[in-house]
Amino acid sequence: MPVPETATCPLCGSPGTPVFKQRDLYCGCEGEFEQSRCAACDLFFLSSRVPETEIHRYYPATYTPWRPVRYSSLIYRLAGALAIPQKRRRRIQRFIAGGRILDVGCGTGAFLAALDDAAWRKFGMDVTLPVDIPCAGEFHTGYFDREPVPMEAVHAITMWHVFEHLYHPLQALRNAAAILRPEGYLFISIPNPHSFDARLFGRFWCGWDVPRHIATYSRAAISSMLERAGFRLHAVVPESGGVDWCFDIGFLLKAFGHPSRLHESLVLRVLLSPLAWLSNRFGRSGSTLYVARRAA
């Protein structure tokens, strides 16, 4: 196992206060890691973490939380309208209808594929890319939080549950500001450490996803970080779904030695969706989409 390194608050550099220790509940990789909180920034971060050069070992083939699930054809068609890429398309189109868009951490390209080809010019980036990306566009491999991306300015950048994995979050925001047009939109979707399910499940909450989630940002923390990089927070969209609660239960079962694929159960998602609806309604969603605009 790699020797863990010590880290401080990514916003202010404070050592923070230890909150709990946890192991890798999702993939079962070795090690135990300490989660700390910086009270001044209201930001949680791994104060003992896997060094950046070794973290790839913690993304084994079993780490596939958002891979498409194969349902029967009828259910699949019914579920299609509720699928995550379609929901994400509707969310961003409340703010911007088209233009040049970069999806950071594009994975299989499923989100970009859900966007209308006529309205959007699509760019994707990830540390590795599959051979058969199901959409037209330009795709790059690389680390968005390390190097500025050499590309023409874009109207929108999306990061769907990517930001919490980054070792250099402030640099990622600065790189985003550098390639966004003035008043361009940045969409960052991240787990919410003050959600109902975070409180309920404690250190077993799926949003911690130790040791892959390097930091977990409150609204105050992400707002400060965005401002520091030249953005202003424009809107906050709660986006919990039944699937998040399925993951929570799955993590809890795994912690007690019962491997589970509950997050793939469509029936359970539907049954748990009222809880997600209530979390969203009361501003305590397990996942939150922050919409920011680059300063003009």
What are the residues binding Zn ion (CB under 5 A)? 9, 11-12, 14, 38, 40-41
25/190 with CB nearer Zn ion: 190
Strand-pair partners of 190: 288
β-strand pairing of 99-104 with 120-126: parallel
55/170 with CB nearer Zn ion: 170
Residue 181 token pair: 């047009």
The structure tokens 């990514």 sit at 10
Give Dmax over CA atoms of the chain in angstroms: 53
Task: Name the nearest CA neighbour of 15 among 25, 4, 7.
Answer: 7
Q: How far is the CB of 41 from Zn ion (least distance, A)?
A: 3
- Sign for the CA dihedral angle at 245, 249, 250, 252 comes to positive
How many other C-beta atoms are found inside a 10 Å radius of the C-beta of residue 134? 11
Q: How far is the CB of 169 from Zn ion (least distance, A)?
A: 12
Q: How far is the CB of 11 from Zn ion (least distance, A)?
A: 4
Task: Name the nearest CA neighbour of 291 among 125, 156, 90, 107.
Answer: 156
14/260 with CB nearer Zn ion: 14
178/220 with CB nearer Zn ion: 220
9/214 with CB nearer Zn ion: 9
How many other C-beta atoms are found inside a 10 Å radius of the C-beta of residue 152? 9
Q: How far is CA 95 from CA 19, 153, 196, in A?
A: 37, 18, 27
Where would I find the H helices in the chain? 73-80, 84-93, 110-114, 169-179, 196-201, 219-228, 242-255, 266-281
Give the integer Cα–Cα distance in Å for 7 and 221: 17
Q: How far is the CB of 290 from Zn ion (least distance, A)?
A: 18
Residue 137 token pair: 């566009």
Give the integer Cα–Cα distance in Å for 109 and 92: 16
Q: How far is the CB of 22 from Zn ion (least distance, A)?
A: 21
Q: How far is the CB of 42 from Zn ion (least distance, A)?
A: 8
Q: How far is the CB of 18 from Zn ion (least distance, A)?
A: 14
18/60 with CB nearer Zn ion: 18
Q: How far is the CB of 97 from Zn ion (least distance, A)?
A: 37
14/86 with CB nearer Zn ion: 14
50/225 with CB nearer Zn ion: 225
